Amino acid sequence: MEQETTHSDEKSSQDIDQLLSKMTAEVTGSGIDFPVNFTFIWHNISFTTQVTPVIGEANHFTITLVANLGYVPFSAEDAARRKKALAAMAQHVTTGEYILLPNSQIVRTLTTDFTGPVNARRLMDVITFILLDQQAELKSAYFSITGAVGNINF
């Protein structure tokens, strides 16, 4: 009976390995359906991400990250913090760098082009470079909007 369990465990492990290999091949192959959309959280900031091919250029893609930096509080919640957050963001909203949505949510859109394959490793490379480049600005905006203090894992 013990041998059957071991054989069964090995079979399950092989099945999982085969499934993972198949899934990896599907998401890294040329048959990817664009646009590629996904979300992630980095330092308490939610991001929605879209990858699209650049039309007419092989192996050339655009990645767009939209950072949800938080909500400006309503005056009834915290009038002083609302005024401070709006003052800190006013210049950036005016220039279009940040967008104030009708629901008082502030978002920042980060876009860049890249070449090469669209696979998990390449996407993580591109996203890491974008986030490291924008880390100080995102941190400042996040703290201004949320009223967070200190070094919350930045």
pLDDT score at 31: 63
Residue 5 has pLDDT above 60, yes or no: no
Q: Note if the pTM is more than 0.85.
A: no
Per-residue pLDDT reduced to its tens digit, 107-119? 999 999 999 888 8
Question: How many residues appear in the chain?
Answer: 154
Three-class DSSP category at 79 = helix
Q: What angle do CA 54, 67, 140 make, to 5 degrees?
A: 130
Residue 88 and residue 44: Cα distance in Å, rounded?
20
pLDDT score at 105: 87
Per-residue pLDDT reduced to its tens digit, 121-132? 889 999 999 999
pLDDT score at 86: 75
Query: Phi first, then psi: what are they for 149, rounded to 5°?
Result: -125, 155
For residues 136 and 154, the answer to whether their CB atoms sit within 8 Å is: no
Q: How confident is the model at residue 63 (pLDDT cuts 50, 70, 90)?
A: very high
Q: How confident is the model at residue 10 (pLDDT cuts 50, 70, 90)?
A: low
Residue 152 and residue 84: Cα distance in Å, rounded?
20
Note if the bond before 73 is cis, omega within 30 degrees: no
Q: Name which residue leads in pLDDT, 17 or 6.
A: 17
Q: How confident is the model at residue 71 (pLDDT cuts 50, 70, 90)?
A: confident
Residue 126 and residue 40: Cα distance in Å, rounded?
14
